[in-house]
Structure 1
């Protein structure tokens, strides 16, 4: 790792290139820049740090960039953030309308069941198991409700059941939308459906985008400006980050062995779930990343996050004996970092809980997204401290 000194021998700000891949999200990446600008002042007020987020700008093909200047504990850092975009692909794959989402539920549930995901999560990741159970239970309950209403109407006269049967699809969709507004069952269904679909039939456009991102990663290292380059994958963006890093290592086997440190940061990941679905190209990518010790790897995934693998090791089922120190694992304890009222609120909404990784906390100590992403310490060193 290079010394953080200038040409005059004076200590200078830590320089970082952060390449960030969002999750399975059809929204514009401007939403993530807005999240940085809204949450940075809140975190600064809690930690006593200085966090200044610059304006967003286009940063080449399928990328958005901005800078972050921080001072933490008297030490400065400059981070150049590049958000690597795949939201256009997500929009192309996004299931349009509740009927398609509902029709996909039996397919992804069957895929998860065949892969043993329900049994694994019931034993080792109860929050994810409950999340996996929620959409099929809701859908099954709505179908059963309409069947009972049709049966009850049929007891009066057989013809009375016909209007109930005819209205059932519309009523189910209407009720599903109301429930979705409260518990985000549609969003989790979209994500699980995507995971099952790409495991069975990996889309070539995804591989092409990962190749492009791998070139961006290599270019950031070769640029020579940064002390470290951190490839960050949030949620299902973690799956993409693994693919990107594996491809970059294939192109440049000596990645991370030069003066610029290279690290992978995964947040709220479900890597072992994607691997369990039988995606062999993804399993190979995971093994390649695991084997390259010159590239650091830190994983921050909460044991209570219902949209993640919780405490299941990222390499579970991929390698025979996962190294307990690779990745370096840090489980954010949000119940200790948020007020009781705030924590109860996100516990009721899986989507809100999942995005907490990218937000400010209410109380100091422990997990700090802005210190990880834009602080003055090397990622791996901070995570091992």
Structure 2
């Protein structure tokens, strides 16, 4: 384990050896316009691969159900009959409708917002801080801005050439008057951008552009639609747990999981749920928070993101919560080595630090050399490895974490690797 990445809070509470028999997972996807179709398919496909690769018992997965308010897509995974493991209720909390509205925004408006956000981040020194944390993610942030500049220059060049050849610039031109050749040149410069729309989507141009704009707007406090959704998510978590308690259903662990931009959402939802129900995690089921490939610094480091930093501070000192942040140096779109206690001005005033546990997912160890060579230069594929089946057993295993018998704290400090009940020695 990389000692500069791994971190164990000094005031982490002691272990709880009792196995988890029932778990409720609230999974929050990242900035994805296709969340309600993607993550159910991804979960079932990768769970099947996981069971085949490691010879585990196949587990029944129920049909998905959408909640009446449209906030969640839910299913259950049965406990294995002949091996340790938890019966797991799995809720995907949906905010893809917000993302879709962003994608439907005028392209010119999106580009204008990108330029404003990038120039603001440059002037505030944020881009330099992001580059110091992870130069690869710095390149991902700058990529849409650089593409806008490049596409603009190419459009101007193409439009100028069309105008020149249609007008009176060259002897072999068509000799059209300027009031015709100039608009046709402009139209040509715009038309070719529309013509390569599918290509731009394949290289994730609009995805990364809108994602960065969203994070910048959120850091400025300009996303009331997202703020309302955070409150609704916290309400959904508490309502679901309240309904299970009222029905007499015992739940051993509640796990809030967020991936990518959803890791930021998971932090905010956990903080709001605890603010409404301070006893959450103290009585009843253990409360766990998992952030995977997080982009938390993109918002938390913005000067105006005071509420988010207050939320992080409340979780850092929360003794009734276990928060683990899994990072990966091989992933371009996270910040390996980032520790909110060190890198954010949280104003803890000497309060003891209980969170987060920080660990590497160690993709080099859990992927075969062939798989690693194939995906190492595919940033989005590597970014999603946090949610995919491993090739090899390892301390980081998404399905062992959300479906296995260990609570998050024990899974991180002394994970059981494979079917034998022998925990791996704690690392780092």
* Band the TM-score falls in, shorter-chain normalisation: 0.7 to 0.9
Q: CA deviation at 1:155?
A: 8.6
Distance (whole Å) between structure 2 residues aligned to residue 130 and residue 3 of structure 1: 44
On the 8 A contact 1:272/1:313 being kept in 2, the answer is no
Alignment of 1:1-385 (within 5 A): 14-52=21-59, 53-61=61-69, 62-71=71-80, 74-96=83-105, 98-148=107-157, 158=169, 162=182, 163-175=184-196, 177-181=198-202, 183-222=203-242, 223=245, 225-277=250-302, 278-315=304-341, 316-319=343-346, 326-385=355-414
On the 8 A contact 2:309/2:344 being kept in 1, the answer is no
On the 8 A contact 1:128/1:306 being kept in 2, the answer is yes
Q: In structure 2, do the counterparts of structure 1 residues 352 and 220 end up closer, same or farther at CA, with 3 Å as the change threshold?
A: same
Q: In structure 2, do the counterparts of structure 1 residues 101 and 353 end up closer, same or farther at CA, with 3 Å as the change threshold?
A: farther
Q: In structure 2, do the counterparts of structure 1 residues 30 and 165 end up closer, same or farther at CA, with 3 Å as the change threshold?
A: closer
Distance (whole Å) between structure 1 residues aligned to residue 53 and residue 134 of structure 2: 31
Count of residues paired in the alignment: 377
- The one-character-per-residue Cα deviations of 1:291-325 (angstroms, maximum 9, x if unpaired) are 21211101112223222233322452242689997
Q: In structure 2, do the counterparts of structure 1 residues 48 and 127 end up closer, same or farther at CA, with 3 Å as the change threshold?
A: farther
Q: Which moved more, 1:318-327 or 1:34-43?
A: 318-327
Q: CA deviation at 1:51?
A: 4.7
User: Structure 2-normalised TM-score?
Assistant: 0.78
On the 8 A contact 1:287/1:318 being kept in 2, the answer is no
Distance (whole Å) between structure 2 residues aligned to residue 75 and residue 48 of structure 1: 14
Q: In structure 2, do the counterparts of structure 1 residues 153 and 340 end up closer, same or farther at CA, with 3 Å as the change threshold?
A: farther
Q: Which moved more, 1:209-218 or 1:127-136?
A: 209-218
On the 8 A contact 1:16/1:79 being kept in 2, the answer is yes
Distance (whole Å) between structure 2 residues aligned to residue 267 and residue 252 of structure 1: 25
Q: In structure 2, do the counterparts of structure 1 residues 303 and 190 end up closer, same or farther at CA, with 3 Å as the change threshold?
A: same
**SS of the residue 2:323 aligns to:** strand
Q: CA RMSD in A?
A: 3.1
Q: In structure 2, do the counterparts of structure 1 residues 218 and 95 end up closer, same or farther at CA, with 3 Å as the change threshold?
A: same
Q: Which moved more, 1:204-213 or 1:125-134?
A: 204-213
Q: Which runs of 5+ in 1 are unaligned?
A: 5-11
**SS of the residue 1:212 aligns to:** helix
Q: In structure 2, do the counterparts of structure 1 residues 373 and 112 end up closer, same or farther at CA, with 3 Å as the change threshold?
A: farther
Distance (whole Å) between structure 2 residues aligned to residue 301 and residue 218 of structure 1: 28
Q: CA deviation at 1:346?
A: 3.5
Distance (whole Å) between structure 2 residues aligned to residue 320 and residue 73 of structure 1: 49
User: Structure 1-normalised TM-score?
Assistant: 0.86
Distance (whole Å) between structure 1 residues aligned to residue 142 and residue 352 of structure 2: 30
- The one-character-per-residue Cα deviations of 1:324-374 (angstroms, maximum 9, x if unpaired) are 972111222223333444334434433322222111122222321111111
Q: In structure 2, do the counterparts of structure 1 residues 311 and 179 end up closer, same or farther at CA, with 3 Å as the change threshold?
A: farther
Q: Which runs of 5+ in 2 are unaligned?
A: 1-14, 174-180, 415-428
Q: In structure 2, do the counterparts of structure 1 residues 31 and 177 end up closer, same or farther at CA, with 3 Å as the change threshold?
A: closer
Identify, as 1 or 2, the structure richer in helix. 1
Distance (whole Å) between structure 1 residues aligned to residue 192 and residue 111 of structure 2: 13
On the 8 A contact 1:228/1:262 being kept in 2, the answer is yes
Distance (whole Å) between structure 2 residues aligned to residue 362 and residue 324 of structure 1: 35
Q: In structure 2, do the counterparts of structure 1 residues 234 and 60 end up closer, same or farther at CA, with 3 Å as the change threshold?
A: farther
On the 8 A contact 1:127/1:310 being kept in 2, the answer is no
